[in-house]
Amino acid sequence: MVHTDDTVKQLQTLDGRKYHANSKIAYLMPEDADEANRLQKQHVVLKYNLQGNFKAPLREALEEGIVVLDSGCGPAAWTFDVAKEFPNSKFHGIDITPQAFPEDVKPDNCEFQVANITEHIPYPDNTFDYIHQRLLVMGLTHENWDNTLKEMFRVLKPGGYIELHEPNLMKMRNTGPFIKQLHDTITGMLESRQIPANIALQLDDRVSNAGFDVEQIIITPMAVNHRGKAGELLWEDYRHAYVNIRPLMSMQNPNWESVKAYELHMNACGQEAKEKRTFLDWYTCVAQKPLK
């Protein structure tokens, strides 16, 4: 594992949880074992709902052997899973948090670097055949998105693919007042920090503006707390994520400084999702770097 940026280590403690305190890092989720465990479980839920680990037309290439970057890889659940499936390919994970990488169980075809993708992806031009990135909706400002896509374009080989995954957090289908209040609060919090809450709807334009050719935008409706085990597991992850940012949410809504009040609100959201049969729309953008 290579460290490339000392600024990533600045953390602050809020209600016993560690969050980034560096002004260069917009990422809102905590940095601790509980959040890493949530992301590991989340990978299983997403793989099931999306019916696989990737949408780009690269299965044959991955079997033969290509070079892959998992951008903002976190605890490397996706990286490890795909690396084990395609041992002939080489996988590189990059994240701002070194504690995310479980080095003791790392497949031989994986390497990790600690760096801030919004400033510089520490690889030469035209290094990768495929770049995968997901769920940075709470991690990148407007400017960060532009810088990151520019860096991705630089390190991707001509003809290579990027694949971005983001949920439409601002508007879920079939919701009521409890989920609406949750979404209004997080939207206000994100926008106050210059983070685009509706990034899922912007992927097409932003990726095109960065120079890529958008091949497809896939919208996958995911059931929240209904339709059996998959819906229940997605709700558990959704709830867990919101619990992990309660200290930040309470800055927007002082009523939620009370853990009990917040818990009651999340319980009401879960019941509402079940009764109204709520769906979360998941956006996948697959794009290619032009050959010329």
pLDDT of residue 8: 45
For residues 24-29, average pLDDT: 59
Q: pLDDT at position 11, please?
A: 65
Q: Which amino acid is at 219?
A: I
Lookup result for tokens 């919090």: 189
Spell out a b/e string for 3-41, using b for 16 or more CB atoms within 10 Å of the CB, else e.
eebeebbebeeeeebebbebeebbbbbbbbeebbebbee
Q: Does 30 have pLDDT greater than 70?
A: no
The per-residue pLDDT for 4 is 47
pLDDT value at residue 204: 98
Question: Which pLDDT score, from 0 to 100, does residue 221 have?
Answer: 97
Q: What is the pLDDT of residues 142-200, one digit of tens each?
A: 999 999 999 999 999 999 999 999 999 888 999 999 999 999 999 998 998 899 999 99
pLDDT at 7 over 50: no
Give 62 or 32, the one with higher predicted confidence. 62
In this prediction, residue 103 has a pLDDT band, given cuts at 50, 70 and 90, of: low
Task: Kindly tell me if the per-residue pLDDT of 27 is higher than 70.
Answer: no
User: Residue 85's pLDDT band (boundaries 50, 70, 90)?
Assistant: very high
DSSP bridge partners of 70 = 93, 132
pLDDT score at 100: 57
Domain that holds residue 260: 2-288
- % the chain with pLDDT above 70: 87
> Domains in the chain: how many in total?
1
Identify the pLDDT of residue 20: 60
Q: What is the pTM of this model?
A: 0.91
- Alpha-carbon span 69 to 79, nearest angstrom: 9
Residue 6, pLDDT score: 47
pLDDT surpassing 80 at residue 99: no
Q: At what angle do helices 229-244 and 259-276 cross, to 10 degrees?
A: 150
| Residue 57's CATH number | 3.40.50.150
pLDDT at residue 1 above 90?
no
pLDDT tens digits, one per residue of 220-273: 999 999 999 999 999 999 999 898 888 888 989 999 999 999 999 999 999 999
What is the model's pLDDT at position 228? 93
E strands, 135-247, where?
156-167, 213-223
At 288, the pLDDT band (50, 70, 90 cuts) reads very high
